[in-house]
Chain A
Amino acid sequence: MTSNSSISSMRRLVEQLKLEASVERIKVSQAAAELQHFCLQNAGRDALLVGVPAGSNPFREPRSCVVV
């Protein structure tokens, strides 16, 4: 049984590797440029990065004391 299952699992592994090898890839320089472009494009909307005016962030609002 063990030889049977390891043969079939090895076969599956070989199939999987063949599939992975056939994936289409782009160069890292191009991928990196696109990642950078996305970051910079959306940086203005990122509240944690640039900070938003204190009034519009509900969490930064000073809360009034609540009687517990």
Chain B
Amino acid sequence: MFKNDFSTPTDLECSPTRDGGTQMHTVKVEQSHKLEHFSIRSLVTDNPPLCKTRLTSARTNKYLPDVRAHTRNIFSEECVRSTGAVMCDQTFVAVTFGPCESCAKTSPLMNIYIKTEPINYCSFCVEKMACQGLQAGESLASLKRESATLKKKLDEERNKLNDVELSKVAEKVETLSSLSIKTRRVLKGHNNKVLCMDWCKDKRRMVSSSQDGKVIVWDAFTLNKEHAMSLPCTWVMACAYAPSGCAVACGGLDNKCCVFPLSMDPNESPVTKKKLVAMHTNYLSACTFTNSDMQLLTSSGDGTCALWDVESGQLLQSFHGHTADTLSLDLAPSETGNTFVSGGCDKKANVWDMRSGQNIQSFENHQSDINCVKYYPSGDAFASASDDATCRFYDLRADREVAVYQKESIIFGASTVDFSLSGRLLFAGYNDYTINVWDVLKGNRISTMYGHENRVSRVRLSPDGTALCSASWDTTLRIWA
């Protein structure tokens, strides 16, 4: 909830606004712990760095920024009353100063809405009210104890079903001979670290993004650069190809994700038609289109993931649960699947239901940040790569980790993973510049792919499984087959 004291406002009706005028009906907003007054018009035109969905002002028919997904709400009073907005319990709108409805003391009031009922209490009474919601005997300590026992019970339930190791079951499977995978193409063109890449469904085009803000669309067969865009922000950490092949999405330190339509016209740069879709309150770490071009799923350094409608920029669903930066996400492979997995700096990998926003399963086995998560081709399992130098394999129906891919000689963190088409091979890129190939079933390392001269930031299998592309901080991409 609201963390800072706000100073007693004396004259809210005629406060000076950021755009220089004095206006009636200002909305007081807390931005980076500094209280500012915005007129509704300057909120719309000024584009302050707030996350965005849209809400029409009942009075003016203009769109107002609505920061519902996070910590702050900015609504005009009319809008809140007329739409009966339901706010998450982390939000408030502080607009008035007057007598508290509960204790009658004159003080700055927190106008909160509990299931469309407006309540104007001072902050002290709000806190008292929250405590009244506790059941008899419930307190912070008792809740802590309950959560500890539940955690233990959850671990016990999971362990009961752990009757055999995956590697034991796979003992009878033929050992794999060494693979003949070599570098077949080296894609040069970026001037700085390549941070992310993605294949197009046509199996030959790819998009890659780098630290200097450049996003390049390549034809992997001919090594032609079909499109090259310069983004104003550096560290474009995420890029994704649309399923239709007609657009790419990218973003990074600018906290946004923009969609760029790709046209056949060589004179038209995609940058001119760019569409801002996602806005977070921290860097964008990963993005992917869902089964269509119309929806975009993003994860961010602010610890949340979000599902956006590309056409309107509307936030469709947000996913809260990580307690630190979310670094990676992956959609479940099936057409009907409605889940995705995310991994973050809180060492947790969470599985989410896209429709309800609910966190259905959570795995906390890693000992450090999870850099990448990827679903197994059948959709029943997923793998994760972490800074603790291990990759782990989790089965969703058994609800537990079933394999750990590690070696004493591997001490550098793994930054990326991908499965081969059958799911038998796991390709993991590490910070020691190599890509290790693991046998998913037996748990041993089959071979190591050398070639990059700096950290491997991303490995991705081509859509038909014939090739693997790796992106690296050495400014190149390599295609292995």
Contact = CB atoms under 8 A, between A and B. Distances in A.
A17 interface: yes
Given A7-B143, A32-B395, A48 B378 contact: no
Nearest to B142: A10
B176 A49 contact: yes
Interface residues of B, number: 73
Q: Is the interface of A mostly helix, strand, loop or mixed?
A: helix
Contacts of B359: 16, 19
A48 B398 CA distance: 28
B361 A10 contact: no
B130 A8 contact: yes
B3 interface: yes
Nearest to B481: A59
Contacts of A35: 166, 376, 378, 380-381, 395, 402, 423, 440-441
Interface stretch (B30-38, B261-269, B304-312, B463-471): B463-471
Interface string B364-401: 00000000000011101100000000000001011110
Nearest to A39: B424
B354 to A, nearest CB: 16
Given A31-B380, A36-B173, A25 B397 contact: yes
B422 A29 contact: no
A36 B169 contact: yes
Interface string A22-43: 0101111111111110111111
Contact of A25 (B158, B164, B173, B378): B158
A8 B421 CA distance: 44
B6 interface: no
A59 B131 contact: no
A14 B397 contact: no
B362 A5 contact: no
B134 to A, nearest CB: 7
A6 B440 CA distance: 41
Contacts of A14: 143, 146-147, 150
A7 B133 CA distance: 10
A28 B401 CA distance: 10
Contacts of B399: 23, 25
B361 A20 contact: yes
Interface in B424-481: 424-425, 440-441, 461, 464-468, 479, 481
B183 to A, nearest CB: 10
B422 A39 contact: yes
A16 B323 CA distance: 14
B273 interface: no
Interface in B179-221: 179-181, 184-185, 204, 220-221
Contact of B422 (A7, A33, A42, A59): A42
B1 A40 contact: no
A60 B481 contact: yes
B423 A42 contact: yes
A8 B132 CA distance: 12
Contacts of B425: 46, 48-49
B333 to A, nearest CB: 12
B465 A46 contact: yes
A7 B140 CA distance: 6
B221 A58 contact: yes
A41 B173 CA distance: 12
B358 to A, nearest CB: 7
A64 to B, nearest CB: 11
Nearest to B183: A59
Contacts of A48: 179, 181, 420-421, 425, 461, 465-468, 481
B102 interface: no
B130 A10 contact: no
Contact of A27 (B161, B376, B466): B161
Contacts of B461: 48
Given A29-B169, A46-B424, A52-B466, 11 more contacts: A1-B123, A6-B140, A16-B362, A17-B150, A28-B161, A29-B163, A34-B378, A35-B395, A38-B376, A49-B176, A49-B420
14 contacts: A1-B3, A5-B90, A20-B361, A21-B154, A26-B161, A28-B400, A30-B398, A32-B164, A36-B441, A38-B380, A49-B179, A49-B422, A49-B425, A59-B184
Interface of B: 1-3, 89-90, 123, 126-127, 130-131, 134, 140, 143-144, 146-147, 150-151, 153-154, 157-158, 161-166, 169-170, 173, 176, 179-181, 184-185, 204, 220-221, 321, 358-362, 376-378, 380-381, 395, 397-400, 402, 420-425, 440-441, 461, 464-468, 479, 481
Q: Which 9 A-B pairs have the closest CB atoms?
A: A42-B422, A17-B150, A59-B481, A46-B422, A10-B143, A31-B398, A32-B169, A31-B395, A47-B466
Interface of A: 1, 3-8, 10-11, 13-14, 16-21, 23, 25-36, 38-43, 45-49, 51-52, 57-60
